[in-house]
Copies of this chain bind each other. A is one copy, B any other.
Amino acid sequence: MPSAVSIREVGPRDGLQNEDPVPTEAKVRLLDALTATGVGRIEAVSFVHPKAIPQMADADEVWKAASKNPQVRYSALVPNSRGAQRALDAGFTEIEVVVSASDTHNRRNLNRSTDESLDDIAALIDLLHNAGARAEVIVATSFGCPYEGDVDPARVASIIDRVVADGADRVAFGDTTGMATPPRVVAVVSRVRERHPDLPILLHFHNTRGTALANVYAALQLGVTEFDASVGGLGGCPYAPGASGNVATEEVVHMLHDMGIETGVDLAALLDAARLAQEIVGRELPSGVLRAGPRLPDMR
């Protein structure tokens, strides 16, 4: 088991992107509350076309107004080179781009084949590197696709081979609609690890069918130390049927802290941020730790 884990908080982006639009000032308040939790990384915004995702139309204003803490690594998600340029102009140096392992999901999400997206990503990586930024490639539907069903871990691994050859600095595996179970996590991670032992990998789980923390536990046993999570369990995936929220950050942090694994996050501050997230979206969020509180009241 690792002694420490790096959490990337994705509520401001992946979370709010999949909720009804909220005011700019509310986004800024949530970002600032998350910055205050001690979390090491925050996916702050995405730079996408406002017609495609109106929830992120004010990304520039949000980012400009947010308090930046030099201890926190902030990142932005982009769909293409235009978005990448906006992210670079806004000052981001860590940038993520998504491709789906499943061709059908990629077509519905990005209107092109997985291979076409991989060609785009190769060019995007060059653009980012030339600007001195780092590129993370997120492989969506890595553990299953709502349209195609099971996804062969060999296909996921070959996508990784391709993006590593094209210069990706880091990769992430997205369980876009909550289809992962522990053996599927083991199959993908161990195959990629075998081929790219030094490649930084991050796992992004949704708790659609209750397996998110089981998947985290299985990944920890393989030595994985980077996970996405979303405050309060905000968000999901609008392009996939039956999708529901990202795993709640406080559920991940709560389990890790009880296991003696450090995250740097102050659980009480994180729960404050989760309550704020709930207030902002105006509905009860699907986080057990938010609802019931930590297993011990004074747990940090």
Chain A residues in contact with chain B, CB under 8 A? Answer: 144, 149-150, 177-179, 181-184, 207-214, 216-218, 242-244, 247-248, 251, 254-255, 258-260, 287-289, 291-296
Contact = CB atoms under 8 A, between A and B. Distances in A.
Nearest to A297: B149
A292 B178 contact: yes
A144 B213 contact: no
Contacts of A216: 214
6 contacts: A181-B258, A209-B254, A209-B289, A209-B294, A214-B217, A243-B292
A266 B139 CA distance: 33
Given A242-B293, A295-B144, A208 B288 contact: yes
A300 to B, nearest CB: 14
B209 A207 contact: no
A101 to B, nearest CB: 15
Contacts of A289: 209-210
Given A183-B258, A214-B217, 5 more contacts: A209-B289, A210-B251, A210-B287, A211-B251, A242-B292
A249 B243 CA distance: 20
Contacts of A208: 288, 292
Contacts of A243: 292
A292 B286 CA distance: 14
B259 A207 contact: no
Contacts of A144: 295-296
Contacts of A209: 251, 254-255, 288-289, 292, 294-295
B149 A288 contact: no
Contacts of A247: 210
B296 A210 contact: no
A255 B244 CA distance: 17
Among A150, A247, A292, A293, residue most surrounded by chain B Cβ atoms (within 10 Å): A292
A213 B254 CA distance: 15
A248 B248 CA distance: 19
A275 B293 CA distance: 29
Contacts of A255: 181-182, 209-211, 214
Nearest to A293: B242
A99 B265 CA distance: 36
Contacts of A207: 210, 288
A26 B178 CA distance: 33
Given A210-B251, A210-B255, A255-B211, A292 B181 contact: no
A95 B134 CA distance: 61
A209 B257 CA distance: 13
A248 B183 CA distance: 20
